[in-house]
Structure 1
Amino acid sequence: MHAIRLHAFGPAENLVLEEVEDPRPGPGQVRIAVRAAGVHLLDTALREGARGPLPAPAELPTVPGREVAGVVESVGEGVPADRLGRRVVVHLGFAPGGYAELAVADLARLHEIPENLDFAEAVAMIGTGRTAMGIVQFADLGPGAVAVIPAAAGGLGTLLTQYAKNAGATVIGLAGGPGKTARVAANGADLAVDYKDPRWPEKVRAHLGGRPATVVLDGVGGDVAREAVALLGPGGRHVVFGWSASGPRDGTPYLVDGVSQQVLGPVMLERAGGADPLRTLELRALGEAAAGRLVPAVHPFPLAAAAAAHRALENRGTTGKVVLVP
Structure 2
Amino acid sequence: MLAIRLHTFGPAENLTHEPVDDPSPTPGQVRIAVAAAGVHLLDTVLRKGEQGPLPQLPTLPTIPGREVAGVVESLGDGVAGLWLGKRVVAHLGFAPGGYAELAVVDVDRVHEIPANLDFAQAVAMIGTGRTAMGIVQFSELGADSVAVVPAAAGGLGTLLVQYAKHAGATVIGLAGGPEKVALVRANGADLAVDYTDPEWPGKVRAWLGGRHATVVFDGVGGTVARDAVGLLDGSPTGQHLVFGWSSGQPYTLEGVSEQVLGPVMTRKAGGPSPIRTLELRALAEAAEGRLTPTVQRFPLTEAANAHQALENRKTTGKVVLEP
Q: Is the 8 A contact 2:32 2:103 kept in 1?
A: yes
Partner of 2:238: 236
Which amino acid letter does the alignment assign opposite residue 235 of structure 1?
Answer: T
Partner of 1:129: 129
Q: How does 1:77-96 map to 2 (within 5 A)?
A: 77-96=77-96
State the shift of 1:203 in Å.
1.1
SS of 1:183 mapped into structure 2: helix
SS of 1:288 mapped into structure 2: helix
Give distance in 2, aligned partners of 1:89 and 1:265.
Answer: 20
Give distance in 1, aligned partners of 2:53 and 2:100.
Answer: 23
Q: Is the 8 A contact 1:49 1:56 kept in 2?
A: no
SS of 2:240 mapped into structure 1: strand
SS of 1:49 mapped into structure 2: coil
State the shift of 1:80 in Å.
1.9
Q: Is the 8 A contact 2:72 2:85 kept in 1?
A: yes
Which amino acid letter does the alignment assign opposite residue 251 of structure 2?
Answer: Y
Give distance in 1, aligned partners of 2:41 and 2:262.
Answer: 16
Cα distance per residue 1:16-45 (max 9 Å; x no partner): 001000000000100000000000001110
Give distance in 2, aligned partners of 1:52 and 1:234.
Answer: 34
Q: How does 1:200-215 map to 2 (within 5 A)?
A: 200-215=200-215
SS of 1:213 mapped into structure 2: coil
Which amino acid letter does the alignment assign opposite residue 277 of structure 1?
Answer: P
Q: How does 1:79-158 map to 2 (within 5 A)?
A: 79-158=79-158
Matched, 1:309 2:306: yes
Q: Percent identity?
A: 74
Which amino acid letter does the alignment assign opposite residue 263 of structure 1?
Answer: V
Give distance in 1, aligned partners of 2:54 and 2:141.
Answer: 30
Q: Is the 8 A contact 2:45 2:51 kept in 1?
A: yes
State the shift of 1:56 in Å.
4.4
Partner of 2:168: 168
Q: Is the 8 A contact 1:46 1:56 kept in 2?
A: no
For structure 1, the 5+ residue unaligned runs are 247-251
Give distance in 2, aligned partners of 1:280 and 1:82.
Answer: 22
Q: Which range moves more in the overlay, 274-283 or 139-148?
A: 139-148
Which amino acid letter does the alignment assign opposite residue 325 of structure 1?
Answer: E
Give distance in 1, aligned partners of 2:18 and 2:142.
Answer: 49
Partner of 2:288: 291
Partner of 2:265: 268
State the shift of 1:199 in Å.
0.7
SS of 2:35 mapped into structure 1: strand
For structure 2, the 5+ residue unaligned runs are none
Partner of 1:8: 8
Which amino acid letter does the alignment assign opposite residue 20 of structure 2?
Answer: V
Change (3 A) 1:322 1:100: same
Partner of 1:31: 31
Q: Is the 8 A contact 1:145 1:213 kept in 2?
A: yes
Which amino acid letter does the alignment assign opposite residue 244 of structure 1?
Answer: S
Q: Is the 8 A contact 2:39 2:321 kept in 1?
A: yes
Q: Is the 8 A contact 2:219 2:245 kept in 1?
A: yes
Matched, 1:196 2:196: yes
Q: How does 1:46-57 map to 2 (within 5 A)?
A: 46-57=46-57
Partner of 1:40: 40
State the shift of 1:54 in Å.
1.1
State the shift of 1:141 in Å.
1.3
Q: Is the 8 A contact 2:216 2:228 kept in 1?
A: yes
Partner of 1:249: none
State the shift of 1:157 in Å.
0.3
Q: Is the 8 A contact 2:5 2:15 kept in 1?
A: yes
Cα distance per residue 1:163-196 (max 9 Å; x no partner): 0000000000000111101010011000000001
Give distance in 1, aligned partners of 2:277 and 2:80.
Answer: 24
Runs of at least 4 residues off by over 3 Å:
none
Matched, 1:279 2:276: yes
Which amino acid letter does the alignment assign opposite residue 242 of structure 1?
Answer: G
Which amino acid letter does the alignment assign opposite residue 293 of structure 2?
Answer: P
SS of 1:234 mapped into structure 2: coil
Q: Is the 8 A contact 1:50 1:56 kept in 2?
A: no
Matched, 1:70 2:64: no
Q: Is the 8 A contact 2:50 2:57 kept in 1?
A: no
CA RMSD, Structure 1 to Structure 2 (Å) = 0.8
Give distance in 2, aligned partners of 1:297 and 1:35.
Answer: 17
Give distance in 1, aligned partners of 2:198 and 2:56.
Answer: 37
